[in-house]
């Protein structure tokens, strides 16, 4: 289950594609979305998450787009306890063609400590566009459309035997 809401510096909403009848978020540098992702009960406890972004440029411009994911990975009865979130990044050059579906991976998120040890684990996050590492003229100047951000994981069952126990 995924929830998503406007962040503190919200991305705008605009038409996706030529027809204008489908609308999606458009994120310029410094704009964000907040959300939470609950891992399904088939998640193999103690394994890492492999997250990535599906996105599109809105015009023919070419340049680097960099996404950041600030997150807390929280099991039931655990929380951030005042600690700062962990941040990972994904960066890619735009295709040079408007509305092309692109895909870029984040660094893996490691399980362990108090993360990924129970069913119903949650990733609570801020997803945002940040200045590209290359910066300057190599940065894609227009807004980028985050189509989806998802995490893959190892599964070891079709679910759990009980609501909170494998």
Is the confidence at residue 166, as pLDDT, over 60?
A: no
Higher pLDDT, 38 or 56: 56
Inside any domain, residue 32: yes
Inside any domain, residue 63: yes
Inside any domain, residue 162: no
Inside any domain, residue 165: no
Higher pLDDT, 114 or 18: 18
The overall average pLDDT reported for the chain is 88
H, E, C per residue of the chain: CEEEEECCCECEEEECCCCCCCEEEEECCCCEEEEEEECCCCECCCCCEEEEEEEEECCCCCCEEEEEEEEEEECCCCCCCCCCCEEEEEEEECCCCCCCCEEEECCCECCECCECCCCCCEEEEEEEEECCCCCHHHECCCCEEEEEEEEEECECCCCCCCCCCC
Inside any domain, residue 133: yes
Residue 62 buriedness (CB in 10 A; 0-12 / 13-18 / 19+): middle
Q: How confident is the model at residue 130 (pLDDT cuts 50, 70, 90)?
A: very high
Structural domain count of the chain: 1
Inside any domain, residue 52: yes
Inside any domain, residue 159: no
pLDDT at 7: 87
Q: What is the mean pLDDT of residues 39-60?
A: 92
Range of the domain at 61: 2-153
Residue 123 sits in a domain of what CATH number?
A: 2.60.120.260
Report the share of the chain in percent with pLDDT over 70: 90
Inside any domain, residue 83: yes
pLDDT at 164: 63
């Amino acid at each position: 289950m995924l929830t998503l809401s406007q962040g503190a510096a919200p991305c705008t909403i605009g038409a996706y594609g030529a027809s204008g009848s489908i609308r999606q978020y458009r994120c310029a540098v410094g704009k964000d979305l907040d959300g939470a992702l609950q891992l399904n009960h088939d998640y193999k406890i103690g394994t890492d998450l492999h997250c990535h972004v599906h996105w599109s440029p809105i015009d023919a411009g070419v340049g680097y787009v960099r996404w950041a994911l600030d997150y807390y990975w929280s099991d039931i009865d655990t929380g951030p306890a005042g600690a700062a979130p962990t941040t990972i990044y994904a960066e890619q050059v735009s295709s040079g063609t408007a509305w092309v579906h692109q895909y870029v991976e984040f660094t893996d998120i490691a399980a362990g400590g108090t993360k990924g040890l129970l069913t119903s684990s949650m990733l609570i996050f801020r997803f945002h566009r940040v200045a590209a590492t290359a910066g300057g003229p190599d940065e894609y100047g227009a807004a980028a459309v985050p189509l989806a951000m998802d995490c893959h994981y190892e599964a070891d069952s079709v679910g759990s035997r009980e609501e909170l126990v494998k």
